[in-house]
Amino acid sequence: MIPDESLGGYSNTFKKSKSKVIKILTSVLQGRKKINLKSLQNVILFIVNWHHKNGGINLPKKIWLSSPHMSGEGYELQYVKEAFDTNWIAPLGPNVDAFEKELAAWVGAKHAAALSSGTAAIHMALKAAGVEKDDLVFCQSLTFSATANPIVYQNATPVFIDSDFKTWNMDPQALEDAFKKYPNPKAVILTHLYGLSADLDPIIRICWDHNVTLIEDAAESLGTKYKGKYTGTFGKYGVFSFNGNKIITTSGGGMLVSSDEERIAKVRFWSTQARDKARHYEHSELGYNYRMSNVLAGIGRGQLKVLDRRLIQKKHIFEFYKENLSHLEGLGMMPVNDWNEPNFWLSCITLSGKVKPLDIIEALERENIESRPIWKPMHMQPFYRNYDFLGSGVSQKIFEHGLCLPSDTKMTDDDLNRVCEIIKGVWR
Mean pLDDT is lowest, of 2-11, 138-147, 335-344, for 2-11
Mean pLDDT of 108-137: 99
Position 91 confidence tier, pLDDT thresholds 50, 70, 90: confident
* 226, 340 contact by CB (below 8 A): yes
246 is catalytic: yes
| CA pair distance 234, 213, nearest whole angstrom | 11
Parallel, antiparallel, or unpaired for β 136-140 and 157-161? parallel
Q: How much is the pTM?
A: 0.87
| CA pair distance 341, 344, nearest whole angstrom | 9
Instruction: Select from 121, 122, 216 the least CA-distant residue to 169.
Output: 216
**Which residues, including other chains, have CB under 8 Å from residue 11's CB and lie 6 or more apart?**
4, 5, 46
| Candidate list 246, 354, 397, 410, residue with the active-site label | 246
Mean pLDDT of 313-340: 97
Q: What is the pLDDT of residues 15-27, one digit of tens each?
A: 444 556 666 666 6
* 374, 399 contact by CB (below 8 A): yes
**Which residues, including other chains, have CB under 8 Å from residue 91's CB and lie 6 or more apart?**
272, 291, 292, 293, 294
* 220, 186 contact by CB (below 8 A): no
* 314, 195 contact by CB (below 8 A): yes
- Which amino acid belongs to residue 132? E
Q: Which helix (H) or strand (E) holds 261?
A: helix 261-271
| CA pair distance 259, 329, nearest whole angstrom | 47
Beta bridge partners of 138: 159, 188
Name the strands in the sheet holding 254-258, side by side, starting at the edge strand that comes first in the sequence.
111-115, 254-258, 237-241, 213-217, 187-191, 136-140, 157-161, 389-390
Mean pLDDT of 273-282: 93
